[in-house]
Structure 1
């Protein structure tokens, strides 16, 4: 039975097609962990080959597990695909397959043996270094020497690097634009992903005096406070107490020595546990992961691996036993617990590294580019429910976990650095009293349609960029089709002339974005006249 794409997966395919119809650049598609990137890539490859059976596509990533996973996903929906694998770790070197799944470590010196290549899909594209002398850059530059018209698509859940910000910005950026982005909050609200939850952790690994190298804490210095006996005891005790009714525990440690110490303490307390590292021999690593997925092992401890390419759907307890300054790593670690599994209500996140406070909510983190713009990074992000200790946004009135009603409080009354929510507060629906339209001009940019929604005493603005290109135009088309129907205007001026066709929403949903608000949802409650 053929696999059916979810609406957002189908939209991603459409957005990529729309991008290439108007641009010659290299786009990025952002899909949250657990959102089915493998299926999207498989469908994209199938459609490309349907249009041109002579095409040659490479799907490249950094770990053999992802190579095998992406290849298997393709064959599940297209058994006769002309697909092969080139990966030393998988002991397969089918170099001349027209649709080749490869690990970058195995193939980066083989461009001139591959010769023809029309398109490269890079899974986990955020791992491509910004420097120009890495394996990815060498390989892609060689392919471009052979075919200057080579197209590159990046797929990732985190479209940014710690050192250089967004993947499509900067002088040395490989990618040119984000063609599609699916929001993780939407997938959680729609039931496609499991919701992370977090509670107050009074004890944290002490990072005072720990230096920074390559944008993150220096591991050897972090190891000292992390290995202290009271640190090991606190982490293990809290995990066991919180995880008694949890199916799969996944613990991320600071260093190999720290992971071994944690594993030894778990084992001493009767917990079935194993540790996995980058240098764990392949057969042993595969055996451990298979035992974990089969739930013969309850707890898996890791450092440096299992943040990408690891798919164990039953994980419902994530332990962040390592502080990190990398927003991407934080998201990838928490993302290991968002997949659905029978009987899994949510995923509990125990943060002993101050990561939630440092990076913000999982679904609305402070991205590297945003840090430079932050006006007051010390402002509190959350408060904790006195009844159940759930972490909630500072503006929450009623606790979503137990129903406790918070009394009115002054701002900035809670400043504990570890206090932060793992998820942002769900935006409320606001009744729209009136809607107005205007042309908005910005120097050097096409004119856009400014839509102003009056909700009580507050006005929220939205810009519909009908004359723009790429993702902005795609979003504008979606907006117009939902509120007015076909055909879609080609410009804001045309839209103003046809504003009588627009059916205003009865409610909107907004979220705070810096000093302003962003409209993120619309509702039509009444039937169209």
Structure 2
């Protein structure tokens, strides 16, 4: 057994063994796409068997493709490893193998049949829900009942779930800590992944008004919204992808897939469709064709987000808006792998789905907060400053009627936001007017002064802290900004508290321009210019 691990892979293994020795519970190895989770798992299995030749190990995941890949990685590392597969999709049921690779769909009723288990490795552990009545919950509960000392390690590049938050948080958490983390930016800087770029072409498609199901956009409504724009989007990304070798395209529905393929055919570009119903044989043919270059484009719905290794892919087309940051990372991850044989130096993201505007640069995406963990959204009445729920249209204090936010549906264009935070460049935007509001502090934090600068196409917010209980550094920076904005020298002294700040807002002048860093949905104001 000989394998030269990358430095971070060896460190991940060492830290995880240390975590298990020092802690009860189950850790997660947070390793992004391209980090080589299958290699890390294979090396850990080999080490465990070296320490205890009688060790019984399970590697479980939701995908038969991942079962095949992870099994193959172990055999590449350890040719005569006592490994087997238990998966109905793969027509293999070697349930008594000392090292068993299995899909949860095939194994979840077999906890008593498989017997002794010492270590469980779960690939893509973010697929495990906290809900009781699931295959995962059934299996893990019963296998722990049979094996009192069993330990479990999760592996994922996105260790959180939509609507549930981090996998390691909460009283019902199945995992209890992160033993090691390697990020996308770490691997890009180390030369193990290529950077992803975007091209400035306009704004994203509007998704407001679409219903949500299970926390994400309703597929029926989303499919109609996307279908109306497919022809325009295809014409755009065909032009942008002329010098790109292999394309992944993500859409919400099978109907969208067919429409994309029809439109690409008009440009003399063949495109394959991959869905959850695509047979394993057909899927393998398509992916092998993409690797060899005989197939240029594949459009997918509900699949090709995990367990797919096509390093040659160098363009991704986002036509599938989503509120799931985990799904977004998985989709973009398809084009980040190195491909020295094709001369790939970067990957192009054509973001027609508003991914970057919704979630920000892919390397700065944070897990969502679980439902109910934050305050309901609110707004301030511009007349009396009463804080009311966001859906209220008539102020209960003064009777002010909030105007309806009716906007012309924007034309679909790929996003011009930076895909990586390091690629964002400051831009100057003119300011036409500004507005002041008292922004209510959350979770016991002091109120702040919210200044909204209005430009032609977008508003930009700056929050100033004057409450005596505010952070001293924040108060100092806010005082400097106030002094710079003052009309006259006599107005430069910063307010002593928030009441004084609200009373003195007429003393502040409207700036000429702002320098902003367009990162995600909350651009950062870097400078305020008055001439």
How many Å apart are 1:408 and its aligned residue?
Answer: 8.9
- The answer for the alignment partner of 1:80 in structure 2 is 80
What's the counterpart of residue 95 of structure 2? 95
| Residue pair 2:60, 2:122 contacting (<8 A) in 1 also | yes
Check whether the contact 1:201–1:418 (CA below 8 A) recurs between aligned residues: no
1:196 Cα deviation from its structure 2 partner: 0.8
- 1:171 deviates by 2.4
Q: How many residues end up aligned between the 2 structures?
A: 409
Q: Calculate the TM-score normalised by the size of structure 1.
A: 0.72
Residue deviations 1:152-203 (CA, integer Å, cap 9, x gap): 1100000110110000111221101111111211110110111111233435
1:71 matched to 2:71? The reply is: yes
Q: Deviations over 1:33-59 (max 9, x none)?
A: 011000000011111111111110000
Alignment partner, residue 135 of structure 1: 135
- CA separation in 1, counterparts of 2:112 and 2:193? 41
- In the aligned structure 2, how far is the partner of 1:181 from the partner of 1:26? 15
- Alpha-carbon separation, structure 1, partners of 2:101 and 2:219: 33
**1:343-422 paired onto structure 2 within 5 Å:** 343-369=343-369, 391-392=417-418
Q: Aligned runs of 1:9-48 on 2, under 5 Å?
A: 9-48=9-48
- Cα distance change on mapping 1:224 and 1:109 into 2, 3 Å: same
Match for residue 225 of structure 2? 225
Q: Aligned equivalents of 1:415 and 1:18: distance in 2?
A: 55
Which residue is 1:49 aligned to? 49
Q: Structure 1: which 4+ aligned runs deviate by more than 4 Å? A: 370-378, 392-396, 404-419
* Alpha-carbon distance in structure 2 between the residues aligned to 1:375 and 1:198: 34
Structure 2 matches for 1:112-511, cutoff 5 A?
112-202=112-202, 204-228=204-228, 231-342=229-340, 343-369=343-369, 391-392=417-418
Change in 2 beyond 3 A, CA 1:324/1:394? closer
| DSSP 3-state at the match of 1:194 | coil
Equivalent residues of 2:29, 2:181 under 8 A apart:
yes
Structure 1 SS opposite 2:4: coil
2-structure distance, mates of 1:45, 1:414: 58
Residue aligned with 1:293, SS = helix
Say whether the 8 Å CA contact 2:312–2:339 is kept in structure 1. yes
The separation in 1 between residues aligned to 2:65 and 2:177, in whole angstroms, is: 28
CA distance in 1: counterparts of 2:224 and 2:254, whole angstroms: 12
Tell me by how many angstroms 1:375 deviates.
12
The 8 Å contact of residues 248 and 299 in structure 1, kept in 2 or not, is answered as yes
Relative to structure 1, the CA distance from residue 119 to residue 417 in structure 2 (aligned partners, 3 Å threshold; closer, same or farther) is: farther
> Secondary structure in 2 aligned to 1:8?
helix
Q: Which string of whole-angstrom CA distances, capped at 9 and with x for unpartnered residues, describes residues 356-379 of structure 1?
A: 11111100113202996799999x
Q: Could you say if the C-alpha distance between residues 328 and 406 of structure 1 is closer, same or farther in structure 2, counting changes exceeding 3 Å? A: closer
Structure 2 distance, partners of 1:415, 1:93, is 64
The DSSP-based 3-state class of the residue aligned with 2:101 is strand
What per-residue deviation string (whole Å, max 9, x for no partner) do you get for residues 377-396 of structure 1? 99xxxxxxxxxx96449998
The 8 Å contact of residues 248 and 295 in structure 1, kept in 2 or not, is answered as: yes
Whole-Å separation in 1 of the counterparts to 2:456 and 2:61: 41
Supply the distance in 2 between the matched residues of 1:141 and 1:268 (Cα, whole angstroms).
Answer: 54
Distance 1:412 1:207, change over 3 A: same
> What CA distance in whole angstroms lies between the structure 1 residues aligned with 2:246 and 2:99?
35
For structure 2, the residue ranges without an aligned partner over 5 or more in a row are: 380-414, 432-451, 461-475, 478-518, 523-531
How far does the alpha carbon of each residue in 1:384-411 deviate from its partner, in whole angstroms, 9 at most, with x for none?
xxxxx96449998xxx69xx98569879
* Cα distance in 2 between the residues matched to 1:172 and 1:416: 45
User: What displacement does 1:285 show?
Assistant: 2.0
Do the aligned residues in 2 keep the contact of 1:317 with 1:347 (CA within 8 Å)? Answer: yes
Deviation for aligned residue 1:145:
1.1
Q: Separation in 1 of the partners of 2:49 and 2:215?
A: 41
The 2-side partners of 1:282 and 1:291 are apart by 14
Q: Which moved more, 1:189-198 or 1:287-296?
A: 287-296
Query: Does the 8 Å CA contact 1:204/1:418 hold for their aligned counterparts?
Result: no
CA RMSD of aligned residues (A): 3.2
CA distance in 2, matches of 1:416, 1:104: 49
Per mean C-alpha deviation after superposition, the further-off stretch among 179-188 and 322-331 is 179-188
Instruction: Tell me the residue number matched to 1:429.
Output: none
CA distance in 2, matches of 1:95, 1:234: 51
Shift of 1:281: 2.0
SS at structure 2 position matched to 1:153: strand
How far residue 255 of structure 1 moved from its aligned partner, in angstroms, is 1.0
| SS of aligned partner of 1:368 | coil
- Aligned pair in 2 of structure 1 residues 412, 194: CA closer, same or farther (>3 Å)? farther
Specify whether residues 84 and 362 from structure 1 end up closer, same or farther in structure 2 by C-alpha distance, changes over 3 A only.
same
**Matched position secondary structure for 1:70:** helix
Q: What is the CA–CA distance in structure 2 between the aligned matches of 1:351 and 1:368, rounded to whole Å?
A: 21
Partner of residue 497, structure 2: none
Say whether the 8 Å CA contact 2:362–2:420 is kept in structure 1. Answer: no
CA 1:240–1:41 in structure 2 vs 1: closer, same or farther (change >3 Å)? same
**Is the 1:204–1:354 Cα contact (8 Å) retained in structure 2?**
yes
Distance in 2 (CA, whole Å) between partners of 1:29 and 1:73 is 18
So what's the TM-score if we normalise by structure 2? 0.71
